[in-house]
Amino acid sequence: MTPATPVPPEPISRRARPAKAPLGREVIVRTGLAILDRDGLDALTMRRVAKELDTGPASLYVYVAHRDDLMAAMLDEALARVPLTAEGTWREQLHALVAASVEAMSRHEGLAAVALGEIPTGANALLVLDRMLALLKQGGLDDITAAWAVDLLHLYTAAAAVERSAHNVKGGKEDDVVAAADRRYAALPADRYPMITALRPALFSPGDRDAWGLDVLLSGILQTPAR
């Protein structure tokens, strides 16, 4: 019998490949957030984002200037989840706005630290800033005091988010961190650290310190107009 002639394989059409998502700033930012949440801050590089998007790093620089620019854009994307309105007095609404901002920034490793060193310029960050200014004006502040006060509130919010994010990254709950510190303080020699050992119960007393800290800031701001 004559052996059958082998049939050459059908060429694979490039048209049959799944189409890549159009490259743009939004898809780059979403991809960066996915890498950050899945693999951590150290894994977030422009090369890694490009690999995820099946392209070269040079293609990203058309839309994102550098890694810091990407991080800033990712922070602004995270702030899109912050509700801008709430029920209650202007102070209660400001408390809700700050709490939501802290939660949004602390969900992603490293993003809150970006806020500490940046003046808000992203679209969503500016919406939060604009709402803060409106609430401060409702509280009776003059323009200059409101403008300076929003700087303080921005620093407070970012710092609180950095602290919470650090707890999240370490994989422990805040209560566990506090308990560990309490044990350390309990072992301190009273002759060397007399005030810490005497006030240890107060230092670790329960309560909503975040709300208290914000109230301290607001009360001080109300009593201290800018000069």
User: Is position 93 within any domain?
Assistant: yes
Structure tokens at 179: 């308990």
By residue count, the chain amounts to: 227
Residues 184, 198 contacting (CB under 8 angstroms): no
Confidence at residue 92, expressed as pLDDT on a 0 to 100 scale = 97
Average pLDDT of span 188-214: 94
Cα–Cα distance between 167 and 160 in angstroms, integer? Answer: 11
User: Is position 75 within any domain?
Assistant: no
- Nearest CA to 103 out of 22, 155, 23, 163 is that of 163
pTM, 2 dp: 0.84
Range of the domain at 107: 83-223
Model confidence pLDDT, tens digit, residues 22-34: 899 999 999 999 9
CATH of the domain at 175: 1.10.357.10
CATH of the domain at 36: 1.10.10.60
Model confidence pLDDT, tens digit, residues 147-176: 999 999 999 999 999 988 887 766 656 778
Examine the domain organization and report whether 52 and 93 are in the same domain: no
Structure tokens at 123: 């679209």
Distances (CA, A) of 77 to 26, 48, 85: 9, 19, 18
Backbone angles phi, psi at 191, to 5 degrees: -70, -25
- CB-based contacts of 108: which residues, under 8 Å, 6+ apart? 33, 36, 37, 74, 75, 78, 165
Does the pLDDT value for residue 139 go beyond 90?
A: yes
3-state secondary structure at position 39: helix
The b/e string for 170-205 (b: 16+ C-beta within 10 A; e otherwise) is eeeeeeeeeeeeeeeeeeeeeeeeeeebeebeeeee
Examine the domain organization and report whether 138 and 45 are in the same domain: no
